[in-house]
Amino acid sequence: MEATIAVNGLRKRYGRTTALDGMTFTVTPGHVTGFVGPNGSGKSTTMRVVLGLDAADEGDALVGGRPYRSLREPLRHVGALLDAGALQPGRSGRDHLLWLAHSQGLGARRVDRVLGLVGLETAARRRAGGYSLGMRQRLGIAAALLADPPILMLDEPVNGLDPEGIVWIRGLLRSLAAEGRAVLVSSHLMSELQDTAGHLVVVGRGRVVADTGVAELIAAASRGRVTLRTPAQAAAMEVLARAGATVAATVAATVAAADPRTLTVSGLPADRIVALLTASGVPFSEVAAHRATLEEAYMELTRDAVEFRAPATGEAAR
């Protein structure tokens, strides 16, 4: 079976809410595809439609060229994590997987193998009802991997994982993709996908805003910009803005990573920036071609497509 997910022209309304408005994209094997967009942009609805859990009003969704509902042993084709809370609380994690395994003609050996893969061996015989959110996520990922499917679809898998868990899942997703699987991972945080996804499907208001390689997206957002480090931010801004540049405080992937001494300048080449600052006696320590974060690239892309936007706080000058 071909490892692809093909979503074509999906439309879906819930009463007066349009959840999907012509959603169209294809997920191909060999890399992690990030499925990103703001809250309410239609990611979970799309995944539910792909899995036949919800019906679209229009359009179709195929896994390996076939509708999910027509697959005889679906877990062998597609592994999915949609709602990590969906398990019987009185059952142990291992029993939950055994029950799923038996429905697919799989045995206890495979269950123990996937429990090992997700690092749940020691907790496997405890009641799943007592699991933390991170442990439930791991159990959900074990369930998705159970029948060794060529296609994986995970809705916000990083949710609830601690920093060690986040590093672990990044490595796992990359290695699953490197084995030739198609891996679709939804998130509304770009920083979660920065080092994991090779491709991005960016959505807003129920449709695709961009369908692009991560490297291309970052290159496009970096083009023509220069990063400048200076202890005299206000003076540097004034000099450069007077010369026609647009100057902004650099957007960091996380608030913790933000450096108040770093500016992003567009509209002037690096050598001209150096000349202007030197001539005006403004101290600076570094002038370099800017490498945009995925977060920045995404913000630019979705500027007009987001449903909910916080007021801009990072922009120092325009």
Ligand X SMILES: Nc1ncnc2c1ncn2[C@@H]1O[C@H](COP(=O)(O)OP(=O)(O)OP(=O)(O)O)[C@@H](O)[C@H]1O
Query: Rule CB under 6 A: which residues touch ligand X?
Result: 14, 17, 19, 37, 39-45, 188
In angstroms, what is the minimal distance from the CB of 96 to ligand X? 24
| Amino acid at the residue 34 | G
In angstroms, what is the minimal distance from the CB of 20 to ligand X? 8
In angstroms, what is the minimal distance from the CB of 247 to ligand X? 33
Question: 20 is written with which tokens?
Answer: 């999907």
Q: Of 209 and 237, which has the nearer Cβ to ligand X?
A: 209
**Strand order through the sheet with 199-204:** 78-81, 151-155, 182-187, 32-36, 199-204, 207-213
315/55 Cα distance (integer angstroms) = 42
First vs last C-alpha separation in the chain: 52
Q: Of 44 and 196, which has the nearer Cβ to ligand X?
A: 44
Q: Of 19 and 169, which has the nearer Cβ to ligand X?
A: 19
In angstroms, what is the minimal distance from the CB of 269 to ligand X? 40
Q: Of 12 and 94, which has the nearer Cβ to ligand X?
A: 12
In angstroms, what is the minimal distance from the CB of 191 to ligand X? 15
Q: Which residues pair with 33 in a beta bridge?
A: 184, 199
Q: Of 19 and 263, which has the nearer Cβ to ligand X?
A: 19
Asked if residue 18 lies in contact with residue 201, where contact means CB atoms within 8 angstroms, the answer is no
| CA 139 remoteness from chain centre | 20
